[in-house]
């Protein structure tokens, strides 16, 4: 069962402005990543469902968060069907992120009041997602659509909350373009939590990157 309410998840994503995301099959590495992001100020994080037994890693990681990073809101991404979404909610997922919009996932998430953030690529898909109860829609892949797409959507639909993922990096120019366009937050994966960083086990660098990215977002919003 989720430890955080739907309201808490959405509020944290909006206030923080960034949702770090990553996958690794080694639970010890995952714990180090969560700890580094947490020390860097992040209070929300997406673990991606991208490998065999990923749900087992997620379950252990969520237990780690409950004791060692109690304010960390852990969710799951790369979910493609309702059964998988239900499995992760049984393991305490606080939000569900998908690459595409699926009605079946919306139904199981709404039943337990767990936020569902589906990948959308058109105004029609975004409208359908909002009708299904999605408060935040994921723009994926963000690099394909760009900030101009977000700005165009916000014209007729200023109430729409968009989180681009893919093509987001922790540099000023990139983040400024997205937030100037009107995104509610950004999803940031390998540009923040790179394979090289994990390979070198430089978790102090990850902590520093996280802290600087969050500070930059706060600065851009003022």
pLDDT tens digits along 163-186:
999 989 999 999 999 999 999 999
Containing domain of residue 61, as a range?
Answer: 6-207
Tell me whether residue 221 is in a domain.
Answer: no
Tell me whether residue 127 is in a domain.
Answer: yes
What's the rounded Cα separation, in Å, for the pair 176 and 171?
8
| Residue 168 · residue 186 · CB < 8 Å | yes
Taking only the tens place, the pLDDT of each residue in 89-133 is 999 999 999 999 999 999 999 999 999 999 999 999 999 999 999
| Residue 113 · residue 89 · CB < 8 Å | no
Tell me whether residue 219 is in a domain.
Answer: no
Taking only the tens place, the pLDDT of each residue in 136-158 is 999 999 999 999 999 999 999 99
Give me the mean pLDDT over the 55-72 stretch. Answer: 98
| Residue 80 · residue 100 · CB < 8 Å | yes
Tell me whether residue 45 is in a domain.
Answer: yes
- Distances from the Cα of 197 to the Cαs of 27, 29, 37, 75, in angstroms? 16, 11, 13, 22
């Amino acid at each position: 069962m989720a430890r955080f309410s739907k309201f808490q998840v959405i509020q944290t994503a909006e206030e923080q402005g960034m949702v770090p995301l990553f996958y690794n099959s080694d639970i010890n590495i995952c714990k180090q990543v969560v700890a580094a992001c947490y020390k860097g100020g992040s209070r929300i994080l997406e673990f991606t469902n991208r490998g065999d037994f990923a749900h087992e890693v997620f379950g252990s990681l969520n237990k780690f968060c409950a004791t060692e990073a109690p304010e960390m809101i852990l969710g799951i991404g790369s979910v493609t069907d309702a059964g998988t979404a239900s499995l992760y909610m049984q393991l305490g997922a606080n939000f569900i992120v998908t690459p595409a919009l699926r009605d079946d996932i919306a139904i199981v998430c709404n039943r337990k009041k767990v936020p569902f953030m589906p990948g959308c690529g058109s105004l029609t898909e975004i409208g359908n997602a909002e009708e299904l109860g999605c408060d935040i829609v994921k723009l994926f892949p963000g690099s394909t659509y760009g900030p101009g797409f977000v700005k165009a959507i916000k014209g007729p639909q200023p109430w729409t909350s968009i989180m681009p993922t893919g093509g987001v990096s922790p540099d000023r120019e990139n983040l400024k373009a997205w937030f100037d366009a009107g995104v509610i937050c950004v999803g940031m994966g390998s540009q923040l939590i790179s394979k090289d960083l994990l390979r070198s086990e430089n978790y102090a660098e990850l902590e520093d990157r996280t802290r600087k990215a969050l500070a930059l977002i706060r600065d851009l919003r003022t």
